[in-house]
Amino acid sequence: MRVGFVGTKSGLQLYKKWVNQINLPIAASSDVAHHIPFPGFEALFSAKWPEKPVTSILISNQEITQAIRIKDRHQAIYNSVSIFESEIRRHINEEDDGVDLWFVVIPEEVFKYGRPKSRVPGSIAELSPQLMNARLAKKLSAQPSLFEEDNETAELYRYELNFHNQLKARLLDAKVVIQVVRETTLMPEEFMENGRQTRQLQDKASVAWNLCTTAFFKASGRPWKLANVRPGVCYVGLVFKKDETHIDSQNACCGAQMFLDSGDGVVFRGAVGPWYSSETKQFHLPFEKAKIIAEQIVAAYKRDHGFPPKELFIHGKTRINEGEWEGFKAGVPENTKVISIRIRHEKQFKLYSPTDHPLLRGAYYIDSYRKAYLYTKGFVPRLGTYQGREVPNPLAIEISFGEADIKQVLKDILGLTKVNFNRCDFADGEPVTLRFADQVGEILTATPTAHDLPPLPFKHYI
């Protein structure tokens, strides 16, 4: 793996120590039944994670501190991201070293103050370098100033107040794959306060399983794949996110995540428009926009396989409407079968096991030929335990449009809970088509330009 490092000098030392640890076996916590020892990175993935990165970009603590402590949070986070972004872009433009994955290790202060509701105490806050604020910036977006410099300054207020999301979004055009990690995640035992660790994390083996799995996937590896998959089928999760920077409260960005049976995914950016209804609290697309997304999905599938999909399943948390359904159908060839599936968490319907264990994972109840309840969480005989802490709730599955065998739909969704490569878990509670819908939406709206990009692999967004 070709890993590039970006962070402080102390962060680099922590990174090297951590890499040395994950290249050796790590014992699991003995008090949790489903925790498993980590065998070492090379033993697990048949690939080496070198202690020394292919390139190391060091950023001074002082530079980071001065930026992240700016009183105006928009300016603080934008300027902090700029420090990391500019260095990565410089390397891409000036150096020959190829990097598969950029490991961005951030000091705890960046995490603490680089989030939407963060506030810097007045005693340590730095003066804002620009005479601008969010309210004035919003006015200028509707009525631009005669001074172009004011308009340019106001533009940074259209960026999301989230260091993680903004950094990923601002580097999408360069097709950079990033893993943002806190220094305290790598070596929590080196951050002590009053004799205790400042953060309580999972045991080291679990952290290694999760972080190494997502890193291997982002570096173009395939951690695992499903057995007995159905050929010619692709699954699409719809993504909607309100554009909070726009004056029109109904404005939203739409997108779609296409996943194949292998777990590989591609994110398509849709149009920005008035897709949100404040009355129904739902997002819906007009016929033409739904048709365009369907055409993009089919074209991408055809590029990879040489032929269009036989079946295209559209997953969403709400039912699509008639206009969307007709648009999706119009965007695919005649021999491609389209099925719309509504998936939501169900809290009213309950099933209980007659044994001491919760219901088995994979248990289901069919209510009708178009509706069923599926338990994606539950007791797993292979692990000898249930990974949750409360009585599991099912997913309510409904075939909204199209025709499909409800049992096959349940089987497909259960399989899609096992291809979350952002962590290493026996199974997730949600199919991957919906698990990251909100996160992808955040990245698509984190900058004014993120939703103007061509389709990119899913690994750029997680």
3-state SS record for the chain:
CCEEEEECHHHHHHHHHHHHHHCCCECCCCCCCCCCCECCHHHHHCCCCCCCCCEEEECCHHHHHHHHCECCHHHHHHHHHHHHHHHHHHHHHHCCCCCCEEEEEECHHHHHHCCCCCCCCCCCCECCCCCCCHHHHHHHHHCCCCCHHHHHHHHHHHCCCCHHHHHHHHCHHHCCCEEEEEHHHHCHHHCEECCEECCCCCCHHHHHHHHHHHHHHHCCCCCCCCCCCCCCEEEEEEEEEECCCCCCCCCEEEEEEEEECCCCEEEEEEEEECCEECCCCEECCCHHHHHHHHHHHHHHHHHHHCCCCCEEEEEECCCCCHHHHHHHHHCCCCCCEEEEEEEEECCCCCCCCCCCCCCECCCEEEEECCEEEECCCCEECCCCEECCCCCCCCEEEEEEECCCCHHHHHHHHHHHCCCCCCCCCCCCCCCHHHHCHHHHHHHHCCCCCHHHCCCEEHHHCC
Q: Which of 31-40, 375-384, 413-422 has the weakest average pLDDT?
A: 31-40
Res 253: pLDDT: 82
CATH 3.40.640.10: does it fit domain 233-460? no
Residue 172 has pLDDT above 80, yes or no: yes
Band of pLDDT at residue 248, cut at 50, 70 and 90: low
Arithmetic mean of pLDDT, 283-293:
92
Residue 73 has pLDDT above 80, yes or no: yes
Q: Which residue has the higher pLDDT, 272 or 319?
A: 319
Arithmetic mean of pLDDT, 4-15:
98
User: For all residues of the chain together, what is the average pLDDT?
Assistant: 90
Question: Among residues of the chain, what percentage have pLDDT more than 70?
Answer: 96
Band of pLDDT at residue 28, cut at 50, 70 and 90: confident
CATH 3.40.91: does it fit domain 3-218? no
Matching CATH topology for 3-218 and 233-460? no
Arithmetic mean of pLDDT, 402-424:
94
Res 33: pLDDT: 61
pTM summary value: 0.90
Res 399: pLDDT: 98
Arithmetic mean of pLDDT, 122-143:
83
Band of pLDDT at residue 123, cut at 50, 70 and 90: very high
Q: Domain residues of the chain, as ranges? A: 3-218, 233-460
